[in-house]
Structure 1
Amino acid sequence: MTSYAKVVVKGTPITKSNFKLINKEGRSFLPMNSGKYHDRYANYEQEIAFTAMAQNPGLVLDEALIAILKVFYKSEKRHPDTNNITKSIFDGIEKSGLIINDAQITRLVIEEYYDKENPRFELELFGDSEFNLTYQVLKRETPLPKKSYELASNKKGEMRTRPKPVKKPDAVTGSNSCSVCKEPIPGSDFISADSGKTIICRGCFTKLL
Structure 2
Amino acid sequence: MGLELRRNKNKALRSKWWYGRYDINGKRHCVNLGIQVQGNPPKSLRKTGDMDFECSRSLAQAKLDGLIREARSQKVAEKHLEELYELKAGSSIEQIPLADIESCWLNLPSRKRRTELWEKNQCTTLRKFRKLIQARHPQVKYVSQITPRMAQEWLRHLDELGYAAATYNDKLHLLKGFFDRIGHDAGVGRNPFAGCPTKLKTTVHHQPFTLDELNRILKHADGVMRSIFIVGM
TM-score, reference length from structure 2: 0.26
- Largest Rg, 1 or 2: 2
Which protein is richer in helix relative to its size? 2
User: RCO (CA 8 Å, sep 6+): is it higher in 1 or 2?
Assistant: 1
